[in-house]
Amino acid sequence: MAGITIRRSGELVRGIFKILLNHPDGLPAKDVLRQLEGVVPPTPFEQTTYPNRPSVRRYEKIVRFSTISAVKAGWLVKNKGLWYVTDEGRAAFTRFTNPENFAREANRLYRKWRADQSIGEDDENIKAAETAITIEEAEEAAWSEIETYLHGMSPYDFQELVAGLLHGMGYFVDWVSPPGRDGGLDIIAYIDPLGVKGPRIKVQVKRRIDKTTVEGIRGFIALLGESDVGLFVSAGGFTRDAGEEARRQEKRRLTLLDLKKLFDLWVEHYDRIPEEKRRLLPLRPVHYLAPDE
Residues 246 and 122 in one domain: no
Residue 288 phi/psi, 5-degree rounding, is -120, 155
The residue segments making up the domain with residue 146 are 6-151
Task: Kindly report, residue by residue over 239-266, the tens digit of the pLDDT.
Answer: 999 999 999 988 889 999 999 999 999 9
Domain count, the chain: 2
Q: Which amino acid is at 265?
A: L
User: What pLDDT band is residue 118 in, cutting at 50, 70 and 90?
Assistant: low
Residues 48 and 125 in one domain: yes
Residue 268 belongs to a domain:
yes
- Domain boundary residue, one of 97, 132, 151: 151
Is the CB of residue 85 less than 8 Å from the CB of residue 106?
no
Residue 63 belongs to a domain:
yes
What pLDDT is stored for residue 229 in this prediction? 96
Q: Please state, in angstroms and as integers, the Cα–Cα distance from residue 257 to each residue in 76, 184, 264, 285, following that order.
A: 23, 16, 10, 23
Task: Kindly report, residue by residue over 184-220, the tens digit of the pLDDT.
Answer: 899 999 999 998 888 999 999 999 989 999 999 999 9
Residues 89 and 69 in one domain: yes
- Whether 119 has a pLDDT exceeding 60, the answer reads no
Residues 170 and 253 in one domain: yes
- Whether 1 has a pLDDT exceeding 70, the answer reads no
Residues 35 and 140 in one domain: yes
Task: Find the CATH number of the domain harbouring 223.
Answer: 3.40.1350.10
